[in-house]
């Protein structure tokens, strides 16, 4: 989710906060091998693969 102060908050399926970073430090791209269903996220220097839903 994106907060009112311009941060991306990565939340797990149980609702717990996994990580967060200012939008200026976030990049995202689709993972081609998954048909675009998974997104590769970089928050600062930390990397995650996420499947929205």
Stretch (H or E) spanning 6? none
Tokens for 20, please give them: 């967060």
Domain ranges of the chain: 25-53
Say what the pLDDT of residue 52 is.
Answer: 79
Stretch (H or E) spanning 48? strand 46-50
User: What does each of the 53 residues of the chain score in pLDDT, given as a tens digit?
Assistant: 888 899 999 999 899 999 999 999 999 999 999 988 999 999 999 999 998 77
Say what the pLDDT of residue 30 is.
Answer: 93
């Amino acid at each position: 989710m994106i907060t009112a102060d311009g941060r991306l908050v990565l939340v797990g399926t149980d609702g717990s906060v996994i990580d967060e970073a200012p939008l200026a430090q976030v990049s995202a791209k689709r993972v081609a091998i998954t048909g675009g269903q998974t997104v590769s996220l970089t928050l600062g220097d930390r990397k995650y693969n996420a499947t929205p839903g």
